[in-house]
Amino acid sequence: MKKNLLLFIVFFFLNQTGYSFAQNYPNKSIRLVVPSAAGGTLDIIARSVVQKLSESLKQPIIIDNRPGASGIIAMDIAAKSPADGYTLVLGTSGTFAANLLSHNKLPFDILKDFTPISIITESTFALAIHPSLQVNSLQEFTNLAKLKPNAITYGSFGVGSIAQFLTESFNLQAGIQLTHIPYKSAPDTLNGLIGGQVAASMDALTVLLPQLKAKRIQILAIGSNKRSLLAPDIPTFSELGYPGFTALVWYGLFAPGNTPKEIVSKLNAEILKSLAEPETKEKLLSIGLMPIGSSPENLAQQIKMDIEKFTVVANATKI
């Protein structure tokens, strides 16, 4: 009886301590680790929401840019940080689902070492080609690919990158085989496409549109569920005979695993407030992205769905 009473007192004390800690959160600056260099898309997304989030939390939020290794460097820093809400990380479909399936061993556990907070936004990817390929539609592209298996090259941000997974996912559905040319980064991939070193590439629509307007590339289809307001003349994959095929990349906020629920709830509420602010919306819209927001549970579910989808691709293509 005395032992049970003692255990009850210990658990009560620990719970009260955790609750008190969460109630006082935050009382110092917060670090947001971003897996890209300053000026990149991830960095712009982070800075778009940080100002209002910092104001509402009444604490500075410091951006810590840690590019490299497909986001693994940044993710590892966050995974090994204290679960106290003072280190956060910006994650994506690539740093979570794609990395899990394309690397034999990660220095952290994707599902255990991170606590989802909220989806921030998502980016629509599109299939672009170099004009020298001399096709004018997705149908002509797939016909040519079937006629000449492996003759058409496509570029991606590297082996196991989200761009490779999305392209190979389409290849499976279309029944075609393209030859993969991996680059070190997204800008290198885009330059390869513009220069004609690769014939095709799957990249963010917002990145491709300036090149389309300059007539350096053609865009055959976009991976959203409906046509984009940024490019209403470009059809979706579904419209062109590939129902259900999407090429969307989400960007979300995470804390280290086992971060107290009270802190996660507070961060979730404040990030949703930030995304609803006109200034935040304007910053995201300026780079062609829509603010989304979600519950932690929805983000966790999205990760599991992506892992299931990309597992099929990894097994079929040996990525």
Q: Do 158 and 217 belong to one domain?
A: yes
Lowest-confidence segment of 107-121, 232-246, 278-292 by average pLDDT: 278-292
Structure tokens given for 107? 């220095």
> Is 6 among the domain residues?
no
Same domain? 152 vs 208? yes
Domain presence at residue 243: no
Q: What is the CA 184 to chain-centroid distance, rounded?
A: 17
Domain-embedded: residue 8: no
Residue 11 placed within a domain: no
CA-to-CA distance for 13 and 159, rounded, in angstroms? 49
Mention every residue, 6+ apart, whose C-beta is less than 8 A from residue 303: 96, 97, 110, 111, 116
Domain shared by 128 and 213, yes or no: yes
φ and ψ of 211, to 5 deg: -75, -30
Q: How many domains does the chain have?
A: 2
pLDDT band at 12 (very low <50, low <70, confident <90, very high): low
Shared domain check, 255 and 113: yes
Position 102 in a domain: yes
On whether both 132 and 275 belong to a single domain, the answer is no
Using the 3D structure, point to which of 222, 239, 270 is the last residue of a domain.
222
| CATH number of residue 205's parent domain | 3.40.190.10
Residue with the bigger pLDDT between 301 and 12: it is: 301
What's the pLDDT at 177? 97
Q: Are residues 131 and 202 in the same domain?
A: yes
pLDDT tops 80 at residue 174: yes
Question: Which of 178, 206, 222 represents a domain boundary (last residue)?
Answer: 222
d(CA 175, CA 141): 12
- Domain residues for the domain of 153 are 124-222
- pTM of this structure: 0.85
Residue 234 within a domain: no
Are 118 and 45 in the same domain? yes
Quick check: is 228 in a domain?
no
Task: Look up tokens 């919306």; give the residue.
Answer: 281
Which three-class secondary structure string do you get for 85-146? CCEEEEEEHHHHHHHHHHCCCCCCCCCCCEEEEEEEEEEEEEEEECHHHCCCCHHHHHHHHH
Do 206 and 218 reside in the same domain of the chain? yes
Residues 214, 137 within the same domain: yes
216 and 142, same structural domain? yes
Q: Write the pLDDT tens digit of every residue in 69-101.
A: 889 999 999 999 999 999 999 999 999 999 998
Does 130 lie in the same domain as 64?
no
What number is the average pLDDT over the span 87-116? 93
CATH code of residue 308: 3.40.190.150
The confidence score (pLDDT) of residue 204 equals 92
Please check whether residues 143 and 287 belong to one and the same domain. Answer: no
Residue 96 is assigned to a structural domain of this protein: yes
DSSP 8-state symbol, 71: G
pLDDT at position 189, please? 93
Q: In terms of Cα–Cα distance, which of 93, 126, 287 is closest to 193?
A: 126
